[in-house]
Amino acid sequence: MIRSRILAAGGYLPADCVDNATLAARFGIDTSDAWIRERSGIRQRHLAAPGETASSMGAAAARQALERAGVGAEAVDAIIVATATPDSSFPATAVRVQAALGITHGFAFDVLAACTGFVYALAVADSMIRSGAARTALVIGAETYSRILDWTDRGTCVLFGDGAGAVVLRAEDGEAGILSTHLHADGRHAGILHVEGGPGSTGTSGLLRMAGPEVFKHAVTKLAAVVDEALAANGLARADIDWLVPHQANIRIIEGMGRKLGLPTERVVVTVDRHANTSAASIPLAMAEACGDGRFKPGDLLLLEAIGGGLTWGSALVRW
């Protein structure tokens, strides 16, 4: 049976690493390190330098993923970038990544599902690999949320960071690979987590708005449901999961999911303390970290889950 096997993951974080106290001082935010840590678990985040973009960071993450996979860029025939902060409306960020990697064949496009973007992009890539449309794919999450934050809104600006993560997928006949993906959206809730306008709107700020407590409530119930859905679809039990690789928005949501699954904390991949919420980049960045230090072993079962603007939410079950 042909599956999309994840060969390796890579990541990139901007050099400017800013702790909570420095962030508050730099942007004049009325907040405290204690409030941010207690409510979200975030200690620091990385902020893109002027000139750094989703495509430049995405290409850097892709290079590390390809190197770890032992795959040359010339083998890549599909690039999908999940981003809500593209370099430009068009061409797609994925096309810019393709050019940066020196690839001139295959196809490249972006997917937008906010913080669920990587899970959506993984699902699309998996479908295309299993249908034969691609053989070796780069799936990338890359974000520069620092450019869409309202630095006068302390309820949101302390929660996000910049960065990129990437995985290399290859069509392989075997047991390892993506076992399932489940995607959901409910546009009725667009207003609780959105960016005010964009290139196709007039008179809008272009800044992120979030009703945090509302999103929190949806996150707890929808993520629990999507995890049960993924397990049921595969005839698996909670005890079968070796690693939870969640979207990194809030440590309280992540720890709650870990408890629900009965996983010890060391089996939950956590980066939110150091990366903050990097939206579509958060899951592949977490995978890059765990891939880099050899945490994932062949045969391990990984559960990926995310919720974000839309609302959108979803899961992927992966045999490493």
**Binding stretches for ligand ACO (CB under 6 A):** 31, 35-36, 39-40, 114-115, 154-155, 158-159, 193, 212-213, 215-216, 219, 249-250, 253, 277, 279, 307-309
Contact 53, 157 (CB under 8 A): no
Specify whether 46 is catalytic.
no
Q: How far is the CB of 99 from ligand ACO (least distance, A)?
A: 28
Q: What is the C-alpha separation between 98 and 242, in angstroms, rounded?
A: 34
Closest CB to ligand ACO among residues 276, 302: 276
Task: Return phi, psi of residue 47, to 5°.
Answer: -120, 135
Closest CB to ligand ACO among residues 66, 115: 115
Specify whether 17 is catalytic.
no
Q: How far is the CB of 83 from ligand ACO (least distance, A)?
A: 12
List Cα–Cα distances, 227 to 125, 130, 230, in angstroms.
21, 23, 5
Specify whether 105 is catalytic.
no
Q: How far is the CB of 24 from ligand ACO (least distance, A)?
A: 8
Contact 196, 33 (CB under 8 A): no
| Mode of pairing for the β-strands spanning 193-195 and 177-185 | unpaired
DSSP letters, 254-290, are: HHHHHHHHT--GGGB---HHHH-B-GGGHHHHHHHHH
Q: How far is the CB of 168 from ligand ACO (least distance, A)?
A: 25
Catalytic residue among 46, 115, 182, 291: 115
Catalytic residue among 247, 250, 275, 291: 247
Closest CB to ligand ACO among residues 166, 249: 249
| Mode of pairing for the β-strands spanning 243-246 and 208-210 | unpaired
Chain length of the chain: 320
Helix axes 20-27, 33-40, angle to 10 degrees: 120
Closest CB to ligand ACO among residues 159, 241: 159
Q: How far is the CB of 21 from ligand ACO (least distance, A)?
A: 12
Of 24, 60, 45, 20, nearest in space to 248 by CA: 45
How far does CA 64 lie from the centroid of its chain? 16
Closest CB to ligand ACO among residues 40, 98: 40
Active site (catalytic) residues: 115, 247, 277
